[in-house]
Structure formats: structure tokens, C-alpha cells
Amino acid sequence: FWKAKSSGTKFLGLRLYFVTADFKLVSVLLGTRHFQPLYGERDGGIRGPFKRWIIQILADFGLTVADFFGATTDGGPDVMHMMTSNLMLSWEWSMPHLTNAATKAAFGMTSNVAKSKNPEMLQLLKKVTRTVYQFCTVEVMGALYEQLVRLLGVGKEKKLIDYKPHRFMSLTRVFERIVKHWNVLCLWYEERARKADRDKSAPPSPFPLAGDKLLMEQLLSLMLPISALNVKSQAEKPNQVDVLVSAYKVIVTTLGPEASLRKYDATRENPTSYHHSILMRWWSRPESC
């Protein structure tokens, strides 16, 4: 399933993976359909029309469920139940949905803050959100951010990036932009405070993430390999074996409890990393920019 941003309309897409007679792995997008069951069709839930539409798409190509072995989807209850209990297929996680779900759990993201399993990390995300919001809503600073980016030689970007909580890759880009422009943000907030002082107005709130630079850098170093795995898993080619091997490498080299963490800015010429013994705990707080 996916939803159009402008209209909110849901679509159902079906992609097949199969091996040809000469043992070549092939991927084919059979088609997409507008998914909007009538009110009367929803009396028994969404699973009935969902199953019927899958079977109809397959039938258009002379196929049945019996022609398939497994399915890869998100972990939503309706979709997962359809693939396992209804269509009786061998099911496994879609890698992008798996990393999204794992990230939400690790960051303590939940609709009920009181039930968050990682409230400290959730507070860090709120600081990130507050930083992006403050930058986007303070118009009196004009083009200062863009000018500072050019002055410090850290790119050509003109603004920070907002993110959607359910999109892991966009969250990684937000962290990447903030870390890359850390000195720019420190100077931007300092000038914002000086301007308020010159104008004799109330002092603005300080940089929400001040003191969290090392934590942000280490989190970015953790997130980048997972984002690279996401990119590979969404490529327009059959690559499931390669994806699983890459996932294993991430588990061993990045997520292992005693694995060194490759720094976000490491290169082949300068392969720097954080030893696992110096990685910050989520409750640690440095004291300054």
C-alpha cells in the first residue's frame, strides 16, 4: 500500500520476484490499483476486499496464489494476516518497513509519551523538531543561515530539512544536515540572541541541541549504514539475497555490542571509528557546542 500526499488516496501495488528457466532472478511490477472499497464492502473489515483485489491482479496475468511461495510486506496486522493466514504464503519483513519499525522502537516513538520505552531519546527528537521549527519560523534572520553556510564552506544548502516520524531515511537526512551545519547553527543562534539584545526584545530560546553534538554525530554514524541498506532494498531490481547479506553485515559491523562504529565522515583514506567503549549512552549530556 501507499498513499498519495496530495489527495490521501490509497493505492495497491503488486511486484513479483521469480527465477527463470535459466536461473535468472527477475522482478516485475504487475500493476497498481486505486484501493477504495465501497462502504458495504468494509462491513467485514478490509481483509476481504484486499484479498479479492490481490487475486484479481494475479488473474489478469493468468496467475493464482498457488503459483507463489512467499511474500515480503510491512508488518501491519491486515497485510501480515493476509499473507500468512489467508493466502498461506511464507512471510518476511520488507526491509525498509523493518528498519522504520525498529527505529521507532529504539527512539521510543509512541503516540502515548508516558508509555515510551526510551523517553530520553524521545526528548532528543523533540529537540531536533524544535530546532527545525525555530529555524523555519524565524523570518527576522533573513538569509543569515545561507550566508553562514557559504562563509564556513560547508555546502550550498539554504535551510534545514524537516522530517516525517515514520520515514527513517528522512530522519537520517535531518541528522546529517544538522551535524554538517553544527557550527552554522551555533552562530545562527548566537546572532539571533544578539539581535534580540540590540532590539531590546525578550531573549529568544537558545539552541535546543547545544551540548548534544557528540551524541548527534554518533547517532548519525549508526543511522547511515542502515539508510544505505534501505536504499539498496528499494532499488528497482531483484536483490533480496544481496539485501540480506548487507543486513547481516550491518548487524555484525555496526549493531554488534562490541563492534566499533565507523564515523559518519570516515573515508577509505581516513577510516576513523568510535571504539564501542567510548560510545555515549542515551542519557549522557555534554555541556557546550
Question: What tens digit of pLDDT does each residue of 60-71 get?
Answer: 999 999 999 888
Q: Is residue 286 part of a domain?
A: no
Residues 62, 170: one domain?
no
pLDDT tens digits for range 226-245: 888 888 887 656 566 788 88
Mark which of 93, 120, 155 sits at the end of a domain. 93
Residue 286 has pLDDT above 50, yes or no: no
> What's the distance, Cα to Cα, between the start and end of the chain in Å?
43
For residue range 116-140, what is the model confidence (pLDDT) as tens digits?
A: 888 888 888 889 888 888 877 765 5
Q: Is 172 a domain residue?
A: yes
Say if residue 24 is in the same domain as residue 150.
Answer: no
Whether residue 91 is predicted with pLDDT greater than 50 in this model: the reply is yes
Write down the pLDDT at residue 217: 94
Asked if 57 and 154 sit in the same domain, the reply is: no
The sign of the CA dihedral 213, 215, 216, 222 is positive
Mean pLDDT of 29-38: 76
Residue 216: CB atoms within 10 A of its CB come to: 20
Average confidence score pLDDT of the chain:
80
> Does 170 share its domain with 36?
no
Domain count, the chain: 2
Decide if 287 is inside a domain. Answer: no
Does the pLDDT value for residue 10 go beyond 50? yes
Domain that holds residue 116: 102-278
pLDDT of the residue at 45: 67
173 inside domain: yes
- Confidence (pLDDT) at 157: 64
213 assigned to some structural domain: yes
218 in a domain, yes or no?
A: yes
In a domain, 75, yes or no: yes
- Do both 184 and 242 map to the same domain? yes
- Region 154-178: mean pLDDT is 70
pLDDT tens digits for 244-278? Answer: 888 888 888 888 878 888 999 998 899 899 888 88
Q: Is the pLDDT of residue 87 over 70?
A: yes
Domain boundary among 74, 93, 112: 93
Q: Are residues 122 and 180 in the same domain?
A: yes
Is 229 within the bounds of a domain?
yes
For residue 102, the one-letter residue type is A
Specify whether 231 is located in the same domain as 106. Answer: yes
Question: DSSP letter string over 138-151?
Answer: -GGGTTHHHHHHHH
Q: According to the model, what pLDDT value does residue 233 have? A: 80
Residue 213 pLDDT > 80, yes or no? Answer: yes
Residue 21 shares a structural domain with residue 148:
no
- The pLDDT assigned to 287 comes to 42
Q: Other CB atoms closer than 10 Å to residue 135's CB: what's the count?
A: 18
Do 125 and 159 lie in one domain? The reply is yes
Asked whether residue 83 falls in the same domain as residue 138, the answer is no
- Flag whether pLDDT at 169 surpasses 70: no
Residues 150 and 273 in one domain: yes
Same domain, 64 and 122: no
Query: The whole model's pTM is what?
Result: 0.75
Top pLDDT among 168 and 179 is at 179
